[in-house]
Amino acid sequence: MATIEECHAALEKLSDNMRSAEGDVRTAAALDRSVSCRITDLDVTFVGRMTDGRIVVQDTLQGPPLEKAQIRLTMTGDDLVALVAGELNFAKAWGSGRVKLEAGLRDLFQLRKLL
């Protein structure tokens, strides 16, 4: 089972990947939105902001988030680490329910370029 530190590191790596992206992916990464990533098996939620092509984690909360972020991800720690490492296909994981992504319709259209 992935640790909180490994999950935080995976989010940092995802942020670095977004920052170095080009074209449509870079455009999608340029959204300015509140973000939460709920790690179900650890019962923690990383909350922060997607801004300037990065995800900035501002806090780690025990349990579910207190406020509803504009972009919300839910998954296990192992799935987060595997997604960022390229070992888990996002579309398949989303389609099977292993990963949940919730956002407004416009944001979902932009985010599909990232994922």
Segment 9-60, tens digit of pLDDT: 999 998 888 777 777 666 666 789 999 999 999 999 999 999 888 899 999 9
pLDDT tens profile 80-107: 999 999 999 988 999 999 999 999 998 8
Q: Which residues contact 51 (CB under 8 A, 6 or more apart)?
A: 32, 33
Tokens of 56: 């900035």
C-alpha dihedral sign at 91, 93, 94, 100? negative
Confidence of residue 113 (pLDDT cuts 50, 70, 90): low
